[in-house]
Amino acid sequence: MMRFRQPRFLLANSSAGLVAGLVTLTYSISYAALIFSGDLAPYLSLGVSMALIGAVILGVSVACMSSLPFVIAGPDGNAAALLALIATTIAQELHAQGRTSQIPVTVGCAIALSTILTGILLFILGRLRFGRFIRFIPYPVLGGFLAIVGVLLTQGSFTVMTGRALIFSNLSMLLTRSQVVLWFPGLVLAVGLKFLLPRYQQFWVLPAILLGTTLLIHGGLAGLGIPLDQAIAQGWLFEPFPSTNPLQVWQTLSWQDIAWPKLTGQMGSLLTLFAVVAITILLCATSIEMATEQDMDLDQELRAAGLANAVTGLCGGMVGHLSVSRSLLNRAAGATHPLAGIVAASFCGGMAIFGNRLLSYLPRAVLGGLLLYLGITLLIEWLYEAWFKLSKLDYALIVAIVMVGAKFGFLAGVGVGLMIACFMFALNYSRLRVIRNTLSGLTYQSKFKRSVHEQQRLRERGAEIWIGLVQGYLFFGTAYTLLNQIRQRLNDQTQSPIRFLVLDFRLVSGLDSSAINSFVKLKQIAIAQDVLLIFTTLNPSISNQLASHGSVIREQDEAVQVFADLDRAVEWCEAKILESFHLRRKRFLPLAIHLEDFFTDTRHIRPFMKYLERCRLEAGDMLFAQGEPADALYFLESGQVSLFLTLDDGQSKRLQTSSAGTVLGDVGLYRRAAHRASGVADQPSRLYKLAGTALMQMQTEAPHLAAAFHESIARLLADQVVRATDGVEKLLQ
């Protein structure tokens, strides 16, 4: 409450609200004239009443509910154009049937009902939080929209000052002496505002400049001996606005005359109106964000507009929403509180009911110059400064949007911009690397820890496993690029032949149905070249698409395999490679044979075995538990042991699986730390345990044997580090 007692606060927001209210009043009357023209011209008073009802209710409601304090709302030009189409269609049909008495009430009811329905649907969109989808509109498209707003503001400023828009066909007329004297003061004012406002940002600067310009123009008129009525007639000042009572206008209509069938016949136009209003609200809100560098809650703006329009329609008002130009004007005039919006709406209401000659004291050049300043500011930012900030392609898109929008309307410009942006996105996206990284069985091994002998075999033929980490959203363009990259690799005779083609989908966000054909072709190529096609980490949606469309994935299909993750897929490929060496089902080998690959000198094996303790595990038995002190390491003679990490949520995650001939617990023993995972036997297993105490005894009794053991462990760990480093480096490429 203390802020409302401060003169600075009241003056800034009240003056800003009056300026914004004057602009809103002017727009509202012009939109009413647009709708109620031709055969509807005799009912213009009804149109003015509906427009001003909308200006008042929308202005107050949106000002109080908007996420930014300076937002101004009122009737909108795009909605007015569609309402004009609806009204004209109804009027022509009724006039052709000789039912002219039904025209005003039917048209008025159509406008009110369209406002109510639009309000309800907008509120539903806001409740469903659909506003976030506007964030996907490309930045240049929004910039083009703001540039179109700048063009419209510039054209509208000359319309305000001279009655003629700044278009090519009017140039010769606008350059005549009688017209130059009308718009030149506004141009000077706009240039002055552009120069002064960025340097002097005190709240009183803009009101002082506007008041000073008004006094100068009136002083000039007085010096030339031009009276007030003559100045109005010559276009220097606004014509007085006649008073009207909106409620009285509605009371003169007969509700029994409503032609309901004509209203139901306009449902298609009403849905179009809703779509246009919803898109325009989101575009305007996003544009205000960009122009002011402040965030807006788009869902809140939809809800606010929905409630405001619903109430407006019930009161017989016209559809509308927040305005970019009026909101920016309000902010530039010093508005910092919803009070400015309330003042603007109250001004429109007061002028509607108590219209007098107050408006006639305002020079057209003052209001036109203010609009011209806003238009020039937006045009400089998006048609001049954008040249240095954006890529040439993005800048060309902005220019294209402006040209189309200036000719066919801003929605047409935005629509064309979106189509071009979508094409550019598809083109640029298809050029991105669909395969983020490529690995092989040499640079990426599974978590199945194998014996030294098996690892040697896998190193010999690990290149037969080719792994592609696919990324992004796959549609016809990116899927075709993926197909070509794989085809080139399969046909490359300079590289090792591929037997297993593994595609990991963990980074794929989605799959378009248009991309299925590329995977059908990929499967055909793989079968023709005797290559096994393997998919990993498929989400349920992509898996269903590959299974249902084109039958890329089938049950019991030997040509295509599917695994839950990349590790299990590579483990399966490694097992297939070892099968070809007849190693998968080899006979039992005692630990002494396995140690021949561990020690470089086999003479160390027999004395080393003396320090080991034999142990046996059944399937499911625990070798060691997570968190227990790591006081030993183990040599796995036969069977299989897996390491499981227990997560915070109680679930277990497999870290590694070890087969016969491997070593477990080596890192923990050397770090003298606790086991970071639990070791569990997957099947009956036989192991040999080297306790920490036994290792210390070996170092004392047989230092040369201990040194050989440490050297072998170091070589084993170094080999693991090299393989892991190779895989990481490949992933980072």
Domains and CATH numbers, the chain: 2-422 (no CATH), 435-580 (3.30.750.24), 591-731 (2.60.120.10)
Residues 705, 708, 713, 714, CA torsion sign: positive
Nearest to 440, CA basis, from 726, 733, 658, 720: 726
The pair phi, psi for residue 498, each rounded to 5°, is -105, 135
- What residue ranges of the chain have pLDDT lower than 70? 1-5, 30, 33-34, 37-38, 77-78, 81, 133-137, 201-204, 206-207, 238-255, 272, 355-360, 409-411, 425-432, 549-550, 582-587, 723-733
How far, in Å, CA of 61 to CA of 68, rounded?
A: 13
Give the β-pairing of 652-659 and 632-646: antiparallel
Nearest to 314, CA basis, from 48, 53, 86, 104: 53
Which residue shows structure tokens 């983020």?
436
**Residue 119 C-beta-side C-alpha neighbours within 13 Å:** 26
Cβ atoms of 681 and 623 closer than 8 Å: yes
Q: How far apart are the first and last CA of the chain?
A: 61
Other beta carbons within 10 angstroms of residue 625's beta carbon come to: 13
Cβ atoms of 232 and 239 closer than 8 Å: yes
How far, in Å, CA of 254 to CA of 250, rounded?
A: 9
Q: What is the b/e burial string over 54-67, where b = at least 16 CB atoms within 10 angstroms of the residue's CB?
A: bbbbbbbbbbebbb
How far, in Å, CA of 685 to CA of 637, rounded?
A: 7
For 104, the token pair is 């005003």
Cβ atoms of 90 and 266 closer than 8 Å: yes
For 161, the token pair is 């000052």
Q: Kindly compute the dihedral angle of the four CA atoms of residues 261, 263, 268, 274, in this order, to the nearest 10 degrees.
A: -160
Cβ atoms of 289 and 295 closer than 8 Å: yes
Residues 443, 448, 453, 457, CA torsion sign: negative
Cβ atoms of 334 and 206 closer than 8 Å: yes
Residue 82, CA distances (Å) to 34, 213, 271, 318, 418 in order: 10, 38, 11, 12, 22
Residues 261, 264, 265, 270, CA torsion sign: positive
How far, in Å, CA of 641 to CA of 645, rounded?
A: 13
Which residue shows structure tokens 């400064």?
385
For 187, the token pair is 């141009």
Other beta carbons within 10 angstroms of residue 92's beta carbon come to: 14
For 403, the token pair is 């040209």
What pLDDT is recorded for position 573?
92
Residue 538 identity (one-letter amino acid): L
What pLDDT is recorded for position 429?
62
How far, in Å, CA of 111 to CA of 47, rounded?
A: 10
How far, in Å, CA of 305 to CA of 322, rounded?
A: 8
3 Cβ contact list (under 8 Å, min separation 6): 9, 337
How far, in Å, CA of 284 to CA of 324, rounded?
A: 6
How far, in Å, CA of 192 to CA of 184, rounded?
A: 12
- Is 121 exposed, middle or buried, given 0-12, 13-18 or 19+ CB atoms closer than 10 A? buried
What pLDDT is recorded for position 312?
93
Q: Please, which residues bridge with residue 14 across strands? A: none
Helix or strand or coil: residue 488?
A: helix
Q: Residues of the chain with pLDDT > 70: what percent?
A: 88
Q: Please, which residues bridge with residue 663 across strands? A: 635
The pair phi, psi for residue 641, each rounded to 5°, is -130, 135
How far, in Å, CA of 416 to CA of 439, rounded?
A: 42
Q: How many helices (H) and strands (E) are present in the chain, helices listed first?
A: 29, 14
Cβ atoms of 642 and 678 closer than 8 Å: no
How far, in Å, CA of 727 to CA of 438, rounded?
A: 10
What pLDDT is recorded for position 283?
77
Q: What is the b/e burial string over 423-443, where b = at least 16 CB atoms within 10 angstroms of the residue's CB?
A: eeeeeeebeeebbebebbbbb
Residues 415, 421, 427, 429, CA torsion sign: negative
Which residue shows structure tokens 């109005």?
232
What pLDDT is recorded for position 432?
67
Which residue shows structure tokens 């806001």?
126
Nearest to 435, CA basis, from 335, 495, 353, 504: 504
597 Cβ contact list (under 8 Å, min separation 6): 451, 452, 453, 661
